[in-house]
């Protein structure tokens, strides 16, 4: 009896052991599957990390290259600004000399004409030799045209002087600290430099510039860099208008009335500067890209050389402001600069 009970106990124990072995085998298979999945997942994660590392390395090189280009451009712009300021200063010297002598020259000419009038009054019949000389030189025409010529020279020197002053304002070399600056003066100097692109040509009428300036205070900023932003936005607006004119006749462009509107205002302790054009506008796809580095819609050799990405960097990082764009395709574009008043 004891033997049979022992056999039954052993058989029961064997069955239990068999079940445990089966469960162990199932657990082992599951563990292997789990380990295999984990290994596969780990390999995928490692591969993704490697890919990310490669992409980050590429991005790092790209950013280093961009930073180098930005630093190079900044150095070039600084050097160019200094050179332009020096050239403008050198232009001012001879122009000032000419302008200082034009008024006395004008007065001398009138005095000489007055003297000639007296001679004609008291000696109305000149000798044949003088009469022949007066006819040869066309005295009456010279007398009428010479004051006009002097006035034209004065107008030319005035324009050179204004251009020189605009160049000096535009190319101001920025110090390491911000300076008080008149925003309107910066915009006007930029417009004067761009005057050759705004005036009428044989293909289109003059581009109208509408200025709506508010009474805004001087602002602490880096004037030279802000002027570069103004140059970029205004040059882009001119480009947009010229592109929208493609294929149109002079009369059609005249009816369309190419126009750039510049508005300044005060809002929430900030200065707003809006630059609008009535060109083609910007598509939603391009609006999402225009502030990216190295992005441009212009072919090689076109444009100002200062992209919107750098313009945004100047406004955001250097001045703590914002540069935004609003555009309706077919109606035009508007760039809005927000500069906090410190």
* Per-residue model confidence as pLDDT tens digits over 125-176: 888 898 898 889 888 898 889 888 888 888 888 888 777 777 766 666 656 6
Residue 324 in tokens = 């935004």
| Tens digit of each residue's pLDDT (9 = 90 or more) over 58-67 | 888 877 776 6
- Nearest-angstrom CA–CA distance, 151 and 148: 5
**Is the predicted pLDDT of residue 83 greater than 90, yes or no?**
no
Q: What is the pLDDT of residue 84?
A: 63
Q: What pLDDT, on the 0 to 100 scale, is given for residue 300? A: 46
Note the pLDDT of residue 62. Answer: 79
Residue 90, C-beta contacts closer than 8 angstroms, at least 6 positions apart: none
Q: What is the pLDDT of residue 184?
A: 95
Q: Are 308 and 290 in contact (CB under 8 A)?
A: yes
Average pLDDT over residues 22-46: 83
Query: What pLDDT, in 10s, does the model give residues 250-299?
Result: 999 999 899 999 999 998 889 999 999 999 888 888 887 888 766 665 55
* Residue range 194-248, pLDDT digits in tens: 888 899 988 899 999 999 999 999 999 988 889 889 988 999 999 999 999 988 9
**Helix 2-122 and helix 139-170, axial crossing angle in degrees, nearest 10:** 160
Of residues 331 and 76, the one with the higher pLDDT is 331
75/55 Cα distance (integer angstroms): 30
Greater confidence, 209 or 78? 209
Q: Which pLDDT score, from 0 to 100, does residue 1 have?
A: 55
Cα–Cα distance for residue pair 302/19, rounded to 1 Å = 82
Q: Which helix (H) or strand (E) holds 28?
A: helix 2-122
Compare 85 and 96 and report the one with higher pLDDT.
96
- Return the pLDDT at 301: 47
In which region does residue 281 sit, left (phi positive, over 0), alpha (psi from -120 to 50) or beta (all else)? left
Two structure tokens written together for 189: 């100097």
Which range has the top average pLDDT, 12-26, 78-92, 158-172?
12-26
DSSP category for residue 253: H
In this prediction, residue 305 carries a pLDDT of: 41
Mean pLDDT of the chain: 83
pLDDT at residue 94 is higher than 60:
yes
- Give the pLDDT score at 217: 93
pTM for the whole structure: 0.61
pLDDT band at 304 (very low <50, low <70, confident <90, very high): very low
């Amino acid at each position: 009896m004891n033997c049979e009970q022992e056999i039954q106990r052993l058989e029961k124990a064997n069955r239990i052991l068999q079940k445990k072995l089966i469960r162990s085998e199932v657990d082992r298979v599951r563990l292997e599957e789990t380990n295999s999945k984990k290994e596969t997942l780990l390999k995928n994660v490692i591969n993704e990390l490697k890919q990310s590392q490669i992409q980050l390395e590429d991005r790092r090189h790209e950013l280093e290259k961009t930073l180098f280009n930005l630093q190079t451009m900044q150095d070039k712009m600084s050097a160019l600004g200094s050179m332009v300021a020096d050239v403008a200063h050198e232009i001012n010297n001879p122009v000032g000399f000419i302008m200082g002598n034009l008024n006395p020259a004008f007065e001398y000419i009138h005095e000489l004409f007055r003297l000639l009038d007296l001679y004609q009054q008291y000696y109305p019949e000149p000798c044949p030799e003088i009469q022949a000389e007066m006819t040869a030189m066309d005295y009456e025409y010279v007398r009428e045209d010479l004051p006009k010529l002097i006035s034209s020279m004065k107008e030319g020197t005035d324009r050179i002087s204004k251009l020189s002053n605009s160049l000096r304002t535009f190319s101001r070399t920025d110090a390491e600290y911000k300076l008080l600056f008149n925003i309107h003066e910066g915009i006007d100097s930029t417009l004067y430099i761009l005057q050759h692109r705004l005036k009428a040509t044989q293909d289109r009428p003059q581009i109208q510039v509408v200025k709506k300036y508010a009474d805004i205070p001087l602002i602490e900023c880096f004037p030279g860099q802000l002027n570069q932003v103004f140059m970029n936005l205004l040059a882009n607006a001119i480009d947009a208008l010229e592109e929208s004119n493609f294929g149109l006749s002079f009369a059609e462009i005249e009816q369309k009335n190419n126009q750039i509107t510049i508005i300044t205002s005060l809002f929430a302790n900030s200065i707003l500067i809006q630059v609008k054009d009535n060109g083609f506008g910007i598509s939603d796809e391009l609006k999402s890209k225009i502030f990216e580095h190295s992005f441009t819609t212009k072919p090689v050799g076109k444009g100002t050389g200062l992209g919107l990405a750098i313009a945004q960097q100047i406004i955001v990082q250097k001045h703590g402001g914002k540069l935004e764009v609003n555009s309706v395709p077919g109606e035009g574009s508007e760039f809005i600069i927000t500069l906090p008043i410190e």
